[in-house]
A and B are shown apart, each in its own frame.
Chain A
Amino acid sequence: MKLTVNGVQHTIGAAPLTPLLHVLREELGITSPKAGCQQGGCGSCTVLVGGAPRRACLLPIAALDGAEVTTVEGLGTAEALSPIQAAFHEHYAAQCGFCTSGMVIAAHGYLEGGGSSERESIQKALAGHVCRCTGYVKIIDAVEAAAGGEVVANQRWLPQPGEEAPVEIPGAPA
């Protein structure tokens, strides 16, 4: 079967009921979707399938022949972050990082679907995602800012070779 991941087409050899998560991580080496609970309950494996957020741990690979999958690696680059990635960076919305890929993908899907900047609406959209650091406030801050158009996409965040690393971390305590 064929699967397109982040714009690259792959031929997949896994058994038909292998979860998409295992194919991404073990067969293709794409590790941003995390193997958390693997029961659909934590959200950390969430990827876009045909543009909509789905749990990679619940999808049998045979159900996806010809599908287009996008992971965090396909949203933006280190030099040109997508709006939601930039918002997570600006609002310091990642702590340990384990839930971040799933949160970013779900939030991306929410924004693409025209999601509003109302916090209650954002909470509903992210309800299936667990942050083990309990850093929900900053995550919702980030999505609120992105939904409200307060974040400039494509900003360059990482220092280039020869440049000093930035010392200011937006959102960090002074």
Chain B
Amino acid sequence: MTAPDVLQPSSPEEAVSLFEAGVTVIGGGTIVVPDMTSGRLRPEKAMLLTGAGLSGITRAGSRITIGATTPVSELVALPAPVGPCAANVADIEIRAQGTVGGNLCAGEGLEAPRGDLQGALLAVGATVRSAGAGGETTEPLEDFLPHRQDRLLLDVTFEEPSAGAFAPLIRPHTHDYTTLAVSAARAADGTLRLAVSGVAGHAVRLPGAEAKASDVEAAAGASPADVTFADDALASAWYRERTLPVLVRRALTQLQEDS
């Protein structure tokens, strides 16, 4: 195996100029490095973002912007559902090393969907600034997720919600990816968003459940129709389908209590 050509940008501008589709982007290394060690991944070209100056959380009023290489551990103090969702990712060491960008952009794993933070950030209506073919764009996270593999994520921005809730299934083991987790948030303008992580592909909004959110039982009952369930080593699609309404009910109940 030949060692990959490794790009090491020292500024965001340099990272953007060096990025091209197909390059393996490394944030913290928690996904790419073990895949390379095992031989599952043999990149020809890789880009290491450690020195690219893309880390950190900035606040402007109620607006929170998270740089791509910010460690997951730095999100733990953010309001629900983002903070509790970050606290639920893997263990202390992995949270301190894995990055927000890596967590959002990673493809599906061998045994389960990845992207624990996707659902919480969908629920707060996050937008993503990214670079790639056609230049820099800013778009809603739900539009970014389907083509995330072709983009270099630069940062994620959202308005602090007026209320938030996070209702996960307990992980079988701390190192498992999210089996199923529902995030709920009420924006300052009253918009209520519901999203679920641990489904097939990437996390999704629950529009059918959102439309009925004023009635918790109706929203819970409507939620399975919004989703294609993953069927994998962590849980069967059968189990996830029956569990989603329970988590939607918990999240909406928490949200009412938080409001």
Contact = CB atoms under 8 A, between A and B. Distances in A.
A102 B152 CA distance: 34
Contacts, number: 80
Chain B contact residues (Cβ within 8 angstroms of A): what range?
Answer: 20 to 34
Interface string B15-58: 00000000000101110011011100000001010100000000
A104 to B, nearest CB: 14
Interface in A9-46: 15-17, 19, 38-41, 43, 46
A108 interface: no
A76 interface: no
Interface stretch (A48-56, A82-90, A93-101, A142-150): A48-56
A80 interface: no
A95 B1 CA distance: 38
Contact of B37 (A16, A19, A46, A62): A19
A16 B8 contact: yes
A5 interface: no
- Contact count band on A: 20 to 34
Interface string B88-99: 001111101100
Prevailing SS type, chain B contact patch: mixed
A128 B175 contact: yes
Contacts of A19: 33, 37
Interface in B126-165: none
Given A17-B36, A40-B34, A54 B8 contact: no
Contacts of A125: 92
Contacts of A128: 90-94, 174-175
A60 B102 CA distance: 15
Instruction: Give the interface centre of A15, A38, A43, A60 by most chain B CB atoms within 10 Å.
Output: A60
B160 to A, nearest CB: 27
A125 B96 CA distance: 12
B4 interface: yes
Given A38-B34, A60-B33, A127 B91 contact: yes
B60 interface: no
Contacts of A106: 92-93
Given A17-B46, A128-B174, A54 B93 contact: yes
Contacts of A57: 33-34, 37
Most buried by B among A17, A62, A106: A17
A139 B175 CA distance: 20
B50 A17 contact: no
21 contacts: A17-B4, A17-B48, A19-B37, A38-B34, A40-B30, A43-B93, A54-B96, A54-B97, A55-B30, A55-B94, A57-B34, A57-B37, A58-B30, A59-B29, A59-B33, A59-B97, A62-B6, A63-B50, A109-B92, A128-B91, A128-B174
Given A60-B48, A106-B92, 5 more contacts: A16-B6, A38-B34, A38-B38, A58-B30, A124-B92
